Amino acid sequence: MTPLEKLVEFLRIPSVSADPAHTPDVRRAAEWVAAELDVLPHVELIEAPGRHPLVYAESLQAPGQPTLLLYGHYDVQPPDPLDLWNSPPFEPVIKNDNIYARGACDDKGQTLILITALQQLLARDGRLPCNIKVLIEGEEESGGEHIEAFVPAHTEKLAADAAVICDTEMFAPGLPALCVGLRGIVYGEIHVHGPAQDLHSGVYGGVAPNPMMAMAEILTALKNRDGHITIPGFYDAVRPPTPEEARAWASLPFDEEHYCQTEVGSPALTGEPGFSVFDRTWARPTFEVHGIRGGFIGEGSKTVIPAVAVAKVSFRLVPDQDPAVAVDQIKAAVAAATPKGVTAEFKLLHAAPPSSVDPSHPLIAKAAAALTESFGRETVYIRSGGSIPIVGLFRQTLGIPSILMGFGLPDDGLHSPNEKFHLPNFHKGIETVQTFLKSL
Ligand code: BES
Ligand code: ZN
């Protein structure tokens, strides 16, 4: 089978880690990855009760050479809303050099880049040019509890000089990028309880507290109309980009108008005045609401004061914010913003620290050289607003940097309907990883 045929096979497995109904599919994806890694001397599926398996493999047959820990994830985000897909999310379609499917870019296509690079090196040379450990997880999109417990408990097994991760984006088509900063995250739910049960809004309206209204008050109390988070102390640890970084960002080829129209697709951009788009997406924290549940949302009308409202929310964190500190600040701010007559609670679902990579690390220069060779253009150093929770953990527990070599494109639609992966990037990625490993 060609790498592309393998990608199609991988994408057909609906490994949605957040949805318990897909648990057997998530396992099937883990087994699929393990079978592909079977070309290495050692492969294992690591299990834990109630968790999705980790796939671990290693080849330690290059004495004196560096050891790299390759990381990826075989799970995907839920495909909803299904009616917005032009073709079913788990039936890959190839059109104009792109493959469309949930996980095409994030992160099955990019995980397969790493695996295929190893397979091709082994097939061609019979050996790998350096020592390789591979750790592929199935919970990246839904909290990552398994890997979070596994890594600190197996620091010797996982010891390496650096991690290599293909799970980020290039800055623009044809313009290779190394990502040297990711935001962290605090994800949780705000639960607001009011009356003991749903009430007639005519009979009780005027005296009964409304949890939906209270939720709106709480949410809007956490961030002002300028996009500035009003939680006391929230920005205390925020480290501005260095002057060199700010200069480099200012010289990136970027048209804000075009970005607003084509990528964001909204009439205007929002956010803190005085901060650039790169500042706002890479170097400033955020507060976002993902969904609000409660009351009546069916067709037609129902006059009710709901008893409960729940909002799913997240905060992205930047260096040097600490998720534990942020959680305490959020809890205090929710309590302070709670109006009379209701109770409100912030329930943490998961958190991950922000991370940054020292751009002067020698392996970063080698990675940049490999990218530049494959794409024929100078590699740019960027950050990303997304989170890859394991990057911070690799730094904290293994003491290693992560080389974030991403092959996604800004319009690949990660987490959106019609997610795609640009196939020339799939092939160039495979080539780049091989060039990089051989250059060590
Ligand atoms: N691959 C993404 C993160 C990403 C996207 C990095 C684009 C750089 C550019 C990753 O799989 C992801 O989406 N992570 C989640 C983590 C969260 C659920 C803890 C995210 O950022 O929302
Ligand atoms: Zn990903």
Atom of ligand 1 nearest to the CA of 185: 19
Q: In which element (H, E) is residue 349 found?
A: strand 343-352
Of 177, 120, 181, 234, nearest in space to 391 by CA = 181
Distance CA(260)–CA(282), nearest Å, equals 16
Q: What is the mean pLDDT of residues 172-191?
A: 97
CA angle, 240 then 246 then 251, to 5°? 160
Report, at the CATH architecture level, how domain 3-182+355-439 is classified: 3-Layer(aba) Sandwich (3.40)
Q: In the chain, which residues fall in CATH 3.30.70.360?
A: 184-238+285-352
- 155 in Cβ contact with 149 (< 8 Å): no
Cβ atoms within 10 Å of 227's Cβ, excluding its own? 16
| Residue 387 CB less than 6 A away from ligand 1 | yes
* Inter-CA distances, 164 with 69, 130, 148, Å: 6, 13, 18
Q: Which residues of 35-71 are buried (b: 16+ CB within 10 A; e: fewer)?
A: ebbebbeebeebeeeebbbbbbbbbeebeebbbbbbb
Distance CA(334)–CA(234), nearest Å, equals 13
Q: Residue 89's pLDDT band (boundaries 50, 70, 90)?
A: very high
Q: What is the mean pLDDT of residues 165-184?
A: 97
Cβ atoms within 10 Å of 137's Cβ, excluding its own? 31
pLDDT higher than threshold 90 for residue 140: yes
Distance CA(273)–CA(275), nearest Å, equals 6
What separation in Å is there between the alpha carbon of 262 and the centre of ligand 2?
22
Residue entry with tokens 């949605």: 16
What's residue 290's pLDDT?
96
Distance CA(180)–CA(178), nearest Å, equals 6
Distance CA(80)–CA(89), nearest Å, equals 9
Q: In which element (H, E) is residue 388 found?
A: none
pLDDT higher than threshold 90 for residue 269: yes
Helices marked H in 357-405 — which ranges?
362-375, 389-393
* Inter-CA distances, 22 with 56, 67, 172, Å: 22, 34, 34
| Residue 140 CB less than 6 A away from ligand 1 | yes
| Residue 110 CB less than 6 A away from ligand 1 | no
Tokens (6 digits) for 33: 């990855």
**Predicted TM-score of the model (pTM):** 0.93
* Inter-CA distances, 176 with 5, 100, 164, 214, Å: 25, 22, 16, 46
Tokens (6 digits) for 39: 């070309």
pLDDT higher than threshold 90 for residue 164: yes
- Which residues sit opposite 179 in a β-bridge? 382, 404
Q: In the chain, which residues fall in CATH 3.40.630.10?
A: 3-182+355-439
Residues with Cβ within 8 Å of 237's Cβ and at least 6 positions away in sequence, in order, are: 320, 321, 322, 325
- 71 in Cβ contact with 158 (< 8 Å): no
pLDDT higher than threshold 90 for residue 88: yes
Among 106, 282, 318, residue to substitute to test ligand 1 (most atoms within 8 Å of Cβ): 106
Specify the fold of 184-238+285-352. Alpha-Beta Plaits (3.30.70)
Q: In which element (H, E) is residue 218 found?
A: helix 211-222
| Residue 409 CB less than 6 A away from ligand 1 | no
* Inter-CA distances, 180 with 67, 144, 208, 326, Å: 20, 21, 51, 23
Question: pLDDT tens digits, residue range 98-108?
Answer: 999 999 999 99
Distance CA(307)–CA(199), nearest Å, equals 8
Name the closest-CA residue to atom 16, ligand 1.
387
Atom of ligand 1 nearest to the CA of 187: 19
Question: pLDDT tens digits, residue range 289-334?
Answer: 999 999 999 999 999 999 999 999 999 999 999 999 999 999 999 9
What would you report as the CA-atom Rg of the chain, rounded to the nearest whole angstrom? 23
What's residue 156's pLDDT?
98
| Residue 76 CB less than 6 A away from ligand 1 | no
* Cis status of the peptide bond prior to 279, with omega within 30 of 0: no
Among 167, 288, 316, residue to substitute to test ligand 1 (most atoms within 8 Å of Cβ): 167
What's residue 386's pLDDT?
96
What separation in Å is there between the alpha carbon of 140 and the centre of ligand 1?
8
Q: Residue 70's pLDDT band (boundaries 50, 70, 90)?
A: very high
Among 387, 402, 409, 421, residue to substitute to test ligand 1 (most atoms within 8 Å of Cβ): 387
What separation in Å is there between the alpha carbon of 209 and the centre of ligand 1?
38
Beta strand 93-95 with 343-352: parallel, antiparallel or unpaired?
unpaired
What separation in Å is there between the alpha carbon of 147 and the centre of ligand 1?
16
| Residue 386 CB less than 6 A away from ligand 1 | yes
pLDDT higher than threshold 90 for residue 143: no
Average pLDDT score, the chain: 97
- 255 in Cβ contact with 262 (< 8 Å): no
| Residue 384 CB less than 6 A away from ligand 1 | yes
What separation in Å is there between the alpha carbon of 65 and the centre of ligand 1?
31
Distance CA(392)–CA(182), nearest Å, equals 9
Which phi and psi angles does 150 have, rounded to 5°?
A: -70, -45
What's residue 302's pLDDT?
97
3-class secondary-structure state, position 305: strand
* Cis status of the peptide bond prior to 320, with omega within 30 of 0: yes
| Residue 388 CB less than 6 A away from ligand 1 | yes
What separation in Å is there between the alpha carbon of 67 and the centre of ligand 2?
23
Question: pLDDT tens digits, residue range 402-437?
Answer: 999 999 999 999 999 999 999 999 999 999 999 999
